């Protein structure tokens, strides 16, 4: 995200910017288990800070 930029509404936009889940997916490099674990940790962290949030993409897009 520091390099590519941040986006909402899509994992990766036309300019290469990524959302939170898109950044996790790139970092996991195809390891779906790692991606799922990282997304779960992130969602838990978001919920502790901001309360009841439906999902990482919902938080990102809000």
Domains of the chain: total: 1
- The pLDDT assigned to 9 comes to 96
Tens digit of each residue's pLDDT (9 = 90 or more) over 12-23: 999 999 999 999
- Please, which pLDDT band fits residue 30 given cuts at 50, 70 and 90? very high
What residues contact residue 7 under an 8 Å CB cut-off, 6+ apart?
13, 15, 17, 18, 19, 22
Rounded-to-integer distance, Cα 60 and Cα 62, Å: 6
Is residue 62 in some structural domain? no
Residue 45 sits at the vertex; the CA angle it makes with 1 and 48, to the nearest 5 degrees, is 140
Is residue 12 in some structural domain? yes
Domain residues for 38? 1-56
Tens digit of each residue's pLDDT (9 = 90 or more) over 45-58: 999 999 999 999 99
Is residue 13 in some structural domain? yes
């Amino acid at each position: 995200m520091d390099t590519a930029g941040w986006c909402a509404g899509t994992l990766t936009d036309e300019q290469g910017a990524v959302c939170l889940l898109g950044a996790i997916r790139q970092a996991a490099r195809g390891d779906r288990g790692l991606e799922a674990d990282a997304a779960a940790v992130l969602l838990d962290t978001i919920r502790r800070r901001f309360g009841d949030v439906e999902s990482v993409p919902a938080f990102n897009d809000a």
